[in-house]
Structure 1
Amino acid sequence: MASLFSPENTDLLTTLGLLYLQLGVYQKAFEHLGNALTYDPANYKAILAAGSMMQTHGDFDVALTKYRVVACAIPESPPLWNNIGMCFFGKKKYVAAISSLKRANYLAPFDWKILYNLGLVHLTMQQYASAFHFLSAAINFQPKMGELYMLLAVALTNLEDTENAKRAYAEAVRLDKCNPLVNLNYAVLLYNQGEKKGALAQYQEMEKKVNFLKDNSPLEFDSEMVEMAQKLGAALQVGEALVWTKPVKDLKSKHRTNSANKSALQQPLGSNQALGQAMSSAAAYRKLPSGVVGGAQLTKPPSLPLEPEPTVEASPTEASEQKKEK
């Protein structure tokens, strides 16, 4: 209503664009941000928001061009340097990504999203001690986000601290009721430790979440995640017809996957894909590592200031209970 009385108010148009962006209504967001820039081409908030939207869709070079304009106006902006860092991460320029993210961290040392991203980049570069440091710091500020505990567990697994990795996975499973990747990672660790009963329980829980997501969302599952789940299913002898066999036919592979035969199942299971929304990279290992750090595009690295706060979604079991009540 306010925009009807003040159609040229750039602050109002920018705010509306940001709100639509948080809701995922990208067409409306683009319209309002475009109108704001039409009336005020130097509106750095609108430019930053437009760049973030382009970054979300994988247009990293275009987003960086937008961010260069913003850097002239507000060179000390933590969200700006966070987003620049994640653009470099998407382009697989990890040194530049860390440099930008550390500048953002210097400007906003208590921002959990920046700490999360630093942990993610270090994890991708196999710098597990550094990843542990930043992920632990992020958890201190955002203790109810299950995905952080999952990433921490992957770092701990690669640091050969299995017991603490199990504790981190247990906390991740407790907090995150929707992401099947958490259960898959946990199942892989338990299988590698010879705990097949626990691995089977986590695998079955993962299948429930996958079925729930297939029925209630248009998400596609990453090819490497599917491959690892199929290998684990074969190792646990839970049958060949996995719940996500059909979506794989239409899925475009975004990453190189490790080939493995039946004998490879005797080795530690895992995947080397780094978490990110189409931002992953693969690194060479002598054997498959013990953590699937990757995804079904269920989450994305936080970009600022445009991400909504984490919300607790209904779990598959909770949703089924609600249906019964109706």
Structure 2
Amino acid sequence: MAEDAVAAVPTEPTTLRKPRIKKAPDLPILERRNWLIHLHYVRKDYEACKALIKEQLQATEGVCEYAVYVQALILRLEGKIQESLELFQTCAILNPTSPDNLKQVARSLFLLGKHRAAVEVYNEAARLNNKDWEICHNLGVCYLYLKDLSKSKEQLNLALQLHRQELSTMTLGKIHLMEGDTEGAIQTYLQALQLSPESTELLTTLGLVYLQNGLFQKAFEYLGNALTYDPSNYKGILAAGCMMQSHGDYDVALSKYRVAASSVPESSPLWNNIGMCFYGKKKYVAAISCLKRALYLSPFDWRVLYNLGLVHLSMQQYASAFHFLSAAISLHHGNATLYMLLAGDV
């Protein structure tokens, strides 16, 4: 007898469980709008950012550290340094263990010209974080303004030990030049170039140092490299043009200056050099026109006045030459050539 077939017992269909959606954690009221404040700030939408900050400070009775911090940053960007300082001090009271708050207080003091007070605050920030290269760098800059070059070099070298970067190197090289240590400045810039070989700022600065010391071949090499990386580099163009001008290549120098004039049309040294190129080509009217533009842009530059006196003297306009040379002497007493030209004019 055949076995009876066993009927399958129907089972109820199993329902798939939906994954439970996790609810985002509720942010404390002090931080609820911080992300939106940050978003508007980095987008440079400062008006919307200030409106949000106002709402946040009203909701938290003025104790939201981040809102106060960003408001202080915006005030600094608007040039209201004293008001930003007061707000950064409020941040430091709300969170006294934050070195960032103290760094911003010190930065505002520095911008107000209170360099000694800034040094004290930076030192306090360094006690909270002694591995921050920015604190060491800014201390070096403050000591530089206070004319304490030894402490400035000490802090800048410490900043470079913590983080090799261009900013501290440029300042350290500047100090070497102030001390008359040209070789030390050159070595500092060369070491920095090993880390940033394409830095137009370093290449241009090194070229200018060589140019001032009469090493024209090396100056031309580094200035040429700077212009290769950035053809619109104003300082490099001006220096290269000056070298060509000193060798009598006035047309080539003028072609360089024409490029620079398109980016910095209100540069007094540029128009001074253009004027002296025309003087070298014996185009005296054009030279006077350019030099007077340079004088308009920088009325207390004795070099421009000297050049104007020289051009008027060449045109035998002795009264005008006397006027400009006398003005140059009143601004710069220690140049013997000015007295020689004035005596020849008289």
TM-score norm. by structure 2 comes to 0.59
Aligned to 2:113: 92
**Displacement, 1:166?**
1.7
Give the alignment partner of residue 186 of structure 2, picking from 166, 175, 178: 166
Distance 1:59 1:205, change over 3 A: farther
Q: Indicate how the Cα distance of structure 1 residues 262 and 210 shifts in structure 2: closer, same or farther if over 3 A, else same.
A: farther
Q: CA, structure 1 residues 96+151, in 2 after alignment: closer, same or farther (shift >3 Å)? A: same
Point out the more displaced range, 31-40 or 120-129. Answer: 31-40
Greater relative contact order structure (CA < 8 Å, 6+ sep): 1
Counterpart residue type for residue 66 of structure 1: L
Identity of aligned residues (%): 17
1:230 maps to: 238
Larger displacement relative to structure 2 (53-62 or 86-95):
53-62
Change (3 A) 1:175 1:83: same
Q: Which one-letter code corresponds to 2:105 in the other structure?
A: I
Instruction: Provide, for residues 16-41 of structure 1, a one-character-per-residue CA deviation record: whole Å limited to 9, x for no partner.
Output: 43465456565565455444334322
SS across alignment from 2:264: helix
Q: Which residue of 2 aligns with 1:110?
A: 131
Distance 1:141 1:56, change over 3 A: farther
1:12 Cα deviation after fit: 4.6
State the alpha-carbon separation in 2 of the partners of residues 93 and 248 from structure 1: 32
1:60 to 64, 67, 81: 81
Which structure has greater helix proportion? 2
Structure 1 CA distance, aligned partners of 2:231 and 2:127? 42
Deviation at 1:74, TM superposition (A): 2.7
In the alignment of these two chains, the number of paired residues is 253
Counterparts of 2:108 and 2:300, CA distance in 1: 23
Aligned residues: CA RMSD:
4.1
Closer, same or farther in 2 for the Cα pair 1:187/1:75, shift >3 Å?
Answer: same
The partner residue of 2:149 within 94, 108, 128 is: 128
- CA shift for structure 1 position 104: 1.8
Aligned 8 A contact 1:112 1:137 in 2? yes
Q: Would you say the 8 A contact 1:147–1:172 is kept in 2?
A: no
Contact 1:122 / 1:130 at 8 angstroms: preserved in 2?
A: yes
Checking the alignment, whether the CA contact within 8 Å between 1:44 and 1:73 is kept in structure 2 is: yes
Residue from 245, 250, 270 that aligns with 2:261? 245
Partner Cα distance (1:262, 1:255) in 2: 10
Distance 2:47 2:231 in 1: 30
Map of 1:1-326 to 2, 5 A cutoff? Answer: 9-18=29-38, 21=41, 26=46, 29-30=49-50, 32-40=52-60, 41-143=62-164, 145-176=165-196, 180-211=200-231, 230=238, 233-235=241-243, 237=245, 239-240=253-254, 241-242=256-257, 243-249=259-265, 259-260=302-303
Structure 1 residue 112 displacement after superposition: 1.0
Deviates further, 45-54 or 107-116: 45-54
C-alpha contact 1:51 1:63 (8 A) present in aligned 2: yes
Unaligned runs of 5+ in 1: 214-225, 265-284, 288-326
Moved more, 59-68 or 19-28: 19-28
Give the Cα–Cα distance (whole angstroms) in 2 for the partners of residues 133 and 50 of structure 1. Answer: 34
Identify if the C-alpha distance between structure 1 residues 55 and 122 changes in structure 2 by more than 3 Å, giving closer, same or farther: same
TM superposition score normalised by structure 1: 0.62
Cα distance in 2 for partners of 1:198, 1:25 equals 47
Letter in 2 for 1:88: L
Q: Report if aligned partners of 1:20, 1:29 keep a CA contact under 8 Å in 2.
A: yes
Structure 2 unaligned runs (5+)? 1-23, 246-251, 269-295, 308-331, 335-346
Distance 1:249 1:140 in 2: 40
What amino acid is the match of 2:100? P
Q: 1:251 to 1:227 in 2, by over 3 A?
A: same
Sort the Cα spacing of 1:108 and 1:204 in 2 relative to 1 into closer, same or farther, 3 A.
Answer: same
Matched residue of 1:239: which SS?
helix
Q: CA deviation at 1:137?
A: 0.9
CA offset at residue 133 of structure 1? 0.9
Q: Deviations over 1:234-290 (max 9, x none)?
A: 1453613334322333689999985435999xxxxxxxxxxxxxxxxxxxx999xxx
Q: State the AA in 2 paired with 1:234.
A: C
Which stretch of structure 1 is more off in the superposition, 159-168 or 97-106?
159-168
